[in-house]
Copies of this chain bind each other. A is one copy, B any other.
Amino acid sequence: MKTRAAVAFEKAKPLTVMDVELEGPRAGEVLVEVKATGVCHTDDFTLSGADPEGLFPAILGHEGAGIVVDASPDVTSVKKGDHVIPLYTPECRQCPSCLSRKTNLCTAIRATQGQGVMPDGTSRFSFDGKKLHHYMGTSTFSNFTVLPEIAVAKIREDAPFDKVCYIGCGVTTGIGAVLNTAKVEPGANCIVFGLGGIGLNVVQGLRLAGADMIVGVDVNNGKKQWGERFGMTHFVNPKEVGGDLVPHLINMTKRGADQIGGADYTFDCTGNVTVMRQALEACHRGWGQSVIIGVAPAGAEIATRPFQLVTGRVWKGTASS
């Protein structure tokens, strides 16, 4: 069949909106009509050429929602007419990573997904007989897309597509970092660095988890009202702090008898390795945990004194929770 799609033919060039060829679903696959898609900074990162794993030509997009319009006969978990959200971190439920019960990062599907193809090693998209790559296994910048059955999550039919599409990436990444990676408990003091799409969803997750202090840090004062809409309790603009940011944050998080200060949990949602270090060092001595969510530029490294960890801070990360 033909479908209208926004094609990324080359890095750092505008997308081309055009008709492309889409093969129907093969074994274990479904055809989805994409009703809405978000545009995530990761799409832009890949399009820019900075993503070392970026492949071209490709159909980008990984934050969508739509309706199953066809399915291979062996598909059992969804059927035509089901409303679904495509998943770029699906779980095959059979590989050592899935069976470990310690991670959601399926390593079986990752191999073919990273090569821009379906699990059987081929692409469903083409143009003029030439292969177009799938992107993150989802390619939601297309009116129709083919996905493995395990890569769609069924949702309620009354959920509005233009809202729930964000659940495909930003919402789950932010809330998952709080609930699954950090496992924040009620009453915790928390700091969120960067109030973009991920950071605001971390704030929302902290509110869900019952955090006490939810400090948002951003260089843009315009983010203050956005943070507050999602549950932020305090806002800090590092440019307006008279002095170093870390001691300022540690002072802010002192409470009652605890005059040591530091957050129980911090989250980096900036991708900036200097901020990642600040996020770790703003953690409470003895137990503070810092979660890295942002994607850093290729080659960039994080650093700290090992003393920070030896005195009880924990440094972890999450890709998609």
Contacts and interface: CB of A to CB of B under 8 A. Distances in A.
Contacts of A293: 310
A230 interface: no
A235 interface: no
A48 interface: no
Contacts of A102: 286-287
The count of identical subunits is: 2
A276 interface: yes
A159 interface: no
A301 interface: yes
Contact of A317 (B257, B310, B319): B310
A107 B276 contact: no
B317 A287 contact: no
Interface string A295-321: 110011111111111111111111100
Interface string A265-276: 000000001001
Contacts of A307: 296
A105 B285 contact: yes
Contact of A302 (B97, B103, B294, B304): B304
Chain A interface size band reads: 35 or more
A318 B310 contact: yes
Contact of A306 (B258, B296, B308, B313): B296
Contacts of A105: 285-286, 311-312
A258 B96 contact: yes
A306 B286 contact: no
Nearest to A264: B102
A100 interface: yes
Nearest to A315: B315
Interface in A70-122: 95-97, 100, 102-103, 105, 107
A305 B298 CA distance: 9
Contact of A286 (B100, B304, B308, B309): B100
B296 A305 contact: yes
Contacts of A314: 314-316
Interface string A40-52: 0000000000000
B303 A302 contact: yes
A260 interface: yes
Given A100-B286, A107-B285, A276-B306, A319 B311 contact: yes
A63 to B, nearest CB: 18
14 contacts: A100-B286, A102-B286, A103-B312, A292-B309, A296-B305, A296-B306, A296-B307, A299-B305, A300-B306, A310-B318, A310-B319, A311-B319, A312-B319, A314-B315
